[in-house]
Chains A and B, each alone.
Chain A
């Protein structure tokens, strides 16, 4: 079990955060998952591994990403002081690359010669294809046929980077099915293949490992805000699909009782409509993709389709550590609709000259709700985890603009 005096010690040796997490995979994969865990543990003890990762994070990704005082938005809301953690400025335009580089270096260390990944919006796929180009590894990205249709620019990017993009037609042909297909590929290529999972989900050690790689976001934030304000933040806000950018921002602060944290799920057309992607606000615990966590499902335990304007949040589950933090009450989880996110998308573009991805637009929409009612010395840090170039077509369509 986790030590009682810290929220940062999880998971336990078997990968459980309370009742969540674990390793619910077919027996064929168990030895592989255990091998990834052993290799990751060993890498964590090797300062050379972190040095190599740090090198690429600095020189290839462009870290540290800035912590930016969003002055005009702060004035606009007239309350709390708002900072953006600018992870959209990373190479490839989102936080995904932080994790992908970590896992790709681990795959190389394990002598794996082939990389597979799943992708929804395509950001994780692009990041994985990028790392594979950098390290000269063959890369296969599974992507739901529905998502391929709505994310054509990212599909082309992946192909330019040399990846093979495999359309997934099974099930509902979206992210969850892409993950099923990646797991099926892994079962059939056990000797040479490493599965780079894009979020803090999947069988242990993935949720902890992805969190560790993304925690660079929170560690930098801590140092940067100390420099700017001389203190810790009051509130952290991040959007949640699987939850990797949020986990990366939150984790270094979990043991600071004065720091409030808010995870923002996608409410789609509204929680009451059933057309949403809010696993914590609208789901119940279940088992899928190697872990126990909150899932959108029917009474028979069949997984339900998620819905969000943001393909990156369009996942019927959530990382198990979030499920645990939700039950503990340590992190507050709220939900923002498509319409609210669209409004925030335009607001950030006009007031700050930053076109956010639709994912962090959800986080910003919640900041817009709380900031006006908070005092001026209240410090909010919101993770601007992706840039919006990929979303301009979808947004134009929703705004009734023909490009």
Chain B
């Protein structure tokens, strides 16, 4: 069983949803980023989603765009992202690591080589935003062969004709994009999310994680009542950015501030169903 499947099985056993915490690899600099991401699981993240920085992130809002720019400026690249995962995996055997990003850096690396190197580094799943089912075969083959889950995205615009195509061949979990929009902008409507998740479950038995537009513990808790996991990214990146000095360098206390938010979010998600 993959780490992702094991983790969702355990969450089901505990009768609760999980928290997926997102940060961009290398933001604001490789050392701070490694320390931050290494602390996510202890702060209560059940799965860790690591952004692969890209110069042209067309599905991301200003917060995550800026995170990627900071990381690239600090010298981050795909090879170093994999090296970071390798380092993190040596200290944490069980937390699923999912890489999220855009296809061009992977294509340039070589899909085959990337899938093998990512799996060897301890990556469990991939989310590639600009690779819809129509185009993902050249990555899906090598990813599956290497034991990686290729996570597919469903959105408010995915109609019932399209959903079977999305969930067929999906691995790990389904990532439901809660808003028609880019990351970190609108607030997700949690009632609409509940309806969408129920609809998704008619098409798949995979766990459903919901992201985009989840900003605080209350909202995460509301999502956690309907879905198997809530994904929070931009809100954490915003906290990170608020702890940078004028030169864009990490101020003391940055790591604690971000991980403090993760703890609050995790508490919201953990008690969501018992409070409901």
Which residues of A are at the interface with B, using a C-beta cutoff of 8 A?
A: 14, 22-32, 170-171, 176-177, 180, 183-184, 187-188, 190, 284-290, 292, 295, 297, 299-303
Contacts and interface: CB of A to CB of B under 8 A. Distances in A.
Contacts, number: 115
B155 A286 contact: no
A290 B185 CA distance: 22
A190 B157 contact: yes
A188 B180 contact: yes
B72 interface: yes
Interface string B92-133: 000000000011111111000000000000000000011110
A21 to B, nearest CB: 10
B155 A27 contact: yes
A3 to B, nearest CB: 22
B136 to A, nearest CB: 10
A180 B56 contact: yes
Contact of A24 (B103, B177, B181): B103
B58 A28 contact: no
Contacts of B153: 26-27
Interface string B59-82: 101100100010010000111000
Contacts of A27: 132, 152-155, 157-158, 166, 177
A301 B59 contact: no
Contacts of B87: none
**Chain B interface category by residue count:** 35 or more
B107 A301 contact: yes
B177 A301 contact: no
By secondary structure, the A interface counts as mixed
Given A188-B182, A190-B180, A295-B104, A171 B134 contact: no
B134 A297 contact: no
30 contacts: A22-B134, A22-B135, A24-B135, A26-B129, A27-B152, A27-B177, A30-B132, A30-B157, A30-B158, A30-B162, A180-B57, A184-B58, A184-B61, A184-B182, A188-B181, A188-B185, A286-B104, A286-B107, A287-B102, A287-B103, A287-B107, A287-B130, A289-B56, A290-B130, A292-B107, A295-B104, A297-B108, A300-B77, A300-B108, A301-B78
B223 to A, nearest CB: 18
B56 A187 contact: no
Q: Which of A29, A177, A284, A300 has the most CB of B within 10 A?
A: A300
B55 A183 contact: no
Sort A-B residue pairs by CB-CB distance and give the 4 closest, nearest first: A301-B108, A301-B105, A300-B77, A188-B181
Nearest to B62: A170
A296 to B, nearest CB: 11
B14 interface: no
A180 B78 CA distance: 21
Q: Which of A14, A183, A301 has the most CB of B within 10 A?
A: A301
A187 B182 contact: yes
A288 B131 CA distance: 11
B31 interface: no
Contacts of B15: none
A201 B72 CA distance: 26
Q: Which of B57, B69, B109, B181 has the most CB of A within 10 A?
A: B181
Contacts of A285: 107
Contacts of A284: 108
A300 B78 contact: yes
Contacts of A24: 103, 130-132, 135
A27 B109 CA distance: 23
B73 to A, nearest CB: 11
Contacts of B157: 27-32, 190
Contacts of B108: 284, 286, 297, 299-301
B64 to A, nearest CB: 11
Contacts of B77: 300, 302
Nearest to B136: A24
Given A27-B177, A176-B56, A300 B105 contact: yes
